[in-house]
């Protein structure tokens, strides 16, 4: 947990220093500031965000209850309890219904194409 807190502090400090360096660069533009301030600010902000994201994704931040984390086997039905004949019949019905729907859709597309062709011809 200490590692997470240190990463959060490092990321926040680096991001803050990056924004401050960027502010100093923008504030001194009229005086002819060097571009190293801009580069330093971008590097500090990117590093700070990286450290903050890395700190938020560590395993240490998760509090896991050991008893709840244990996997318990589910009571699954054995192959003897499953009605394969009923599943097969239902599948055949769905396949027949899909075939009818698909045929109707194809007929409608043909009618639309024919109607568009007649409109262009007229």
Query: Residue ranges per domain, the chain?
Result: 2-62, 83-122
Structure tokens at 120: 């262009």
3-class SS of residue 85: helix
pLDDT-derived band of residue 60, with 50, 70 and 90 as boundaries? low
Query: What's the whole-number mean pLDDT along residues 29-58?
Result: 87
Integer Cα distance of 42 and 14 in angstroms: 10
3-class SS of residue 48: helix
> Does 92 have pLDDT greater than 70?
yes
**C-alpha distances in Å from residue 9, one per residue of 18, 22, 43, 55:** 14, 20, 17, 10
Average pLDDT, rounded, for the chain: 84
Phi, then psi, of 25 in degrees rounded to 5: -65, -50
Predicted confidence at residue 2, as pLDDT, reads: 82
Predicted confidence at residue 94, as pLDDT, reads: 94
């Amino acid at each position: 947990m200490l590692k997470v807190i240190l990463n959060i502090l490092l990321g926040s400090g680096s991001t803050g220093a990056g924004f401050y360096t960027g502010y100093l660069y923008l504030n001194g533009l009229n005086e002819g500031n060097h571009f190293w301030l801009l580069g330093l600010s971008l590097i500090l902000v990117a590093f700070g965000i990286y450290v903050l994201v890395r700190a938020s994704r560590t395993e240490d931040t998760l509090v896991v209850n050991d008893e709840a984390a244990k996997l318990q086997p589910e009571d699954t039905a054995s192959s003897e309890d499953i009605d394969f004949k009923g599943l097969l019949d239902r599948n055949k019905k769905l396949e027949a219904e899909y075939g009818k729907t698909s045929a109707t859709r194809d007929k409608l597309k043909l009618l639309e194409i024919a109607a568009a062709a007649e409109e262009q011809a007229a």
